[in-house]
Amino acid sequence: MSRTIQIGFLISGVTHPTSGGKVAGGTVFFFEAGTTTPKYVYTEKQKTNGYYSYPLDSVGAATLYADGELKIVIKDSNGATVKTYDHMRLRYDVYGVNTVISTPYAMTTDNDLLLVNTTSGDITINALAAASWIRPIKVFRTTGANNIVFTPNGAETVDGNANLTITSDAIVEIVSDGSNLRTVGFRANMADADGDTSVEIERTADIDKAHIKTGGTDRVVVDENGLDIVSGALRIDGADIIDDDGELVDPVLNGDVTGTGVLDEDNMASDSNTKLATQQSIKAYVDAQASATFVNNANGNPNISDTAFLAELFAGIWRSVGPTGGGANSTWTALDGVPAGVDWIEVKLLLNSSSVADTAFVTRTAYVYARKNGSSEAQSDANRIAGGLAMLNNSGYGGVNLTFPQIRIPVASRKFDLYWISTFNSATTVNLLLVGYGYNP
C-alpha cells in the first residue's frame, strides 16, 4: 500500500483571494493531475475512508490525507471556484520499499524499490506513464527463478522495446525521460567497501555487458562480441602472459602450431613478412638453395653444362647474354636449365688475346667486365671479372691465355651483360662454361 501525507495548506483554512476572508462552508474537490477524473483523498493515513470532495469547516479548513500527484479545486459555499492547484505532488519523505508477490502489479509514484518474489510464476509490473514519473525505480528479484516483465504504459517503450524481461537476480534501475523509459544498468551486488572494485552487469538496448573493475577502472569487459582486456595484463600464477600492449610475454609454445599465420611452403613463394614458416619448410628451402650451387659431375666434368659460350663481343660495348627466348643480344643455351629466380651464376672463364707483328717490347692488356642485366653501372674494378697483360717480343708477337675457374656473375631473369676492352692487335676470345648458380641469403 502506498503511503499518504497530510494536505498541509488545508489545515489552517483556505483564504479567499479576493475578499481575504476564510472560505467557510466551501467544498474542496480532488482529481487526477491534469484531468477531470476524480481522485480519492482520505481522512486518515491508513486510506480506509476515501472522498472525491470534502466540505470545509467554519474557518475553511479540513484535515485530509492524499498520495501521489493530484489537482485540487476549491469552491465557496455558492459553488463558485475560488482556487485551483494542479499537479500538486504529495510524497512521504521515506524510501519506499514494496514487496511484490502477485501479478499484475501497478506501479505508483511511492515506489522506490520493488522486491519481487517470482516463486509462483512470472510477475508483470505495469509502469506509470513516463510523464508521471517522479524518480527512478529499482526492481530486484529476491526469490524464485521465473521472470519479471516490466511493461511501459500504452505505446511507450523501455530501451526501445515493448517491455523489459528481467531474468537475473540483479538490481535493475529504470528511469523516465518524460516520453519513454530506459534502464541505466544492471548492478550486481558485488563490490568492496569503497565501491571501486566491483563486478557489474549492464544492460542497454544495444548490447549486454559485464564489467570487472579495480580502482574504479574497467579491467575486463565481456559482451556478445567476446572478452576484452581493456586495462592491465593477462596473468597466470602471477606471471604476465599478455602485457598491457597486447603482446605475448616470453611465450612457451608446446605441441603443434597451426593456423593461417603459419605457412608450410618449401619454396617460400608467398614471401610474406607477417607469417611464420614451419621447421620443415625452412629446411627444405635452405637445402634447395644450398644444392643449387653443387656442380653436376654426371658428365665427368666440373660443369653444370658443357655448352660453352663463345662471347660475340664488340670492344667498348655492353652486350647482354641470356637463355633461349630471353630477349638478350646473345643466347647461351646452358642458361635454359637454370631456375628462373636465381640471383647469380658461377662460370669458368677462358680469356685468349694476342698481337701479331705489333710494336716490339710494348705491354698489351685485355680486360672483361660483367654486370646484372638492366644495371646502368659502368665498367670498373668492382665489376671486372677477368684480365691479363703481356709484353710483346722483339718481333711484336705475344699474348695471354688465361683460365679463371670460379667467377660469380649477378643475373636478372638469368641474364647478364658483358663488356671487354683490349689493346692487343689480333683476336680476343672469351669462352664461358656454366659451373653453378645460387641465391643470395
pLDDT of res. 299: 46
Q: How far apart are CA 166 and CA 178, in angstroms?
A: 22
Q: What is the distance, to the nearest Å, from the Cα of residue 333 to the centroid of all Cα atoms in its chain?
A: 55
Mean pLDDT of all residues belonging to the chain: 84
- Torsion over CA: 274, 278, 281, 282 (sign): positive
pLDDT band at 203 (very low <50, low <70, confident <90, very high): low
Percentage with pLDDT > 90 across the chain: 48
Q: Identify the structural domains of the chain with CATH numbers, from first to last.
A: 5-90 (2.170.14.10), 97-187 (2.60.120.640), 262-291 (no CATH), 309-438 (2.60.120)
What tens digit of pLDDT does each residue of 255-283 get?
777 778 888 888 777 788 888 888 888 88
For 235, list phi and psi in degrees, rounded to 5: -125, 150
* pLDDT value of residue 118: 94
Model confidence at 189, pLDDT cuts 50, 70, 90, reads very low
Q: How confident is residue 414, by pLDDT bands cut at 50, 70 and 90?
A: very high
Bridge partners for 26 per DSSP = none
Q: Which three cell numbers mark 98?
A: 514494496
Render pLDDT for 67-117 as a digit per residue (tens, 0 to 9): 888 999 999 999 999 999 998 887 655 677 889 999 999 998 778 899 999
Looking up cell 634447395 gives 288
CA atoms within 13 A on the CB side of 106: 3
- CA within 13 Å, CB half, 69: 14
Q: Give the pLDDT band of residue 419 (cuts 50, 70, 90).
A: very high
Residue range 351-367, pLDDT digits in tens: 999 999 999 999 999 99
Residue 312 has pLDDT above 70, yes or no: no
- Given a cut of 50, is residue 300 above it in pLDDT? no
Residue pair 328/413 in contact by the 8 Å Cβ criterion? no
Q: How many CA atoms lie within 13 A of 403 on its CB side?
A: 3
Mean pLDDT, rounded, for 171-181: 90
pLDDT band at 298 (very low <50, low <70, confident <90, very high): very low
10 Å CB burial of residue 424 (0-12, 13-18, 19+) is: buried
- The per-residue pLDDT for range 124-167, each reduced to its tens digit, is 999 999 998 878 999 999 999 899 999 999 999 998 899 999 88
Quick one: pLDDT band at residue 48, thresholds 50, 70, 90? confident
